[in-house]
Structure 1
Amino acid sequence: MQKKLLYIFGLTVLVGFMSFTLQEDRWKAPEGAKALKNPISSADKAESAKRGAKIFKTRCMICHGTAGKGDGIGGKALTPKPQNLTSSMVQAQVDGELFWKVTNGRNDMIKWGPILTEDQRWDVVNYVRTLK
């Protein structure tokens, strides 16, 4: 009986640690990023997304994969792994949060702000929205 209780306690601690680690890794943009408004009009979003797809294929696909699922060959050795851009967690973020992340990068993700123009970064955000 004592071994069983010790096993359950150990398992509970392990699960608690794992969930803390997973929550710890969730990448959150600062609150101010939510206020960034996508400057691309609804009428122009399809064209913007097409431009974003081209950028994605040359800059992002190596790590995020062809369908944006985070399974690209370049991301296999990265920690944390590239995000699955089709996930509800990513898609639920506002455009400003995604733009901030593309702009600033994190860990092994490149900081695209100095490399891509502001319009190009919004194009990437608009493309990511098509990956649902």
Structure 2
Amino acid sequence: MTNHEAWKLYEKYLSAWNTTSIEQRLKIANEVLSENIEYQTARHDLCTGRSQVVEDMATFHERFPGGHFEIGGVSSHHNVALLTWVIIQADGEEFARGGDQITVDRDGKISKITTFAPSAKDPN
């Protein structure tokens, strides 16, 4: 997987986070996430399946009405990519930056996401 391929796949994935349409979220999630995706965040132990990811998308819109995600950077090799995401609030101000490590399966779908959020410039 090239950086460009990882960016395009992640961009589509983030479009599911950015839409307020539940139907569109589910459609995109089905297109880009494997059925048995492994998903782990600071808030969640490792879970399997798309449902937790889609639920977190809804929670994002409750917490950040009018907000969206942007991609801050990408680095990939083989079938793994590390991507930086940026939360932009409704007023256009940056709220936080974090990262996702994604693994892509042979079908070109994301099979694993490990989220690191938010990043800290000074961990003290």
Q: Which TM-score applies when normalising by structure 2?
A: 0.27
- Of the two, which has the highest radius of gyration? 1
Q: Which has the higher contact order (CA 8 A, sep 6+)?
A: 1
TM-score, with normalisation over the residues of structure 1? 0.26
> Which structure has greater helix proportion?
1
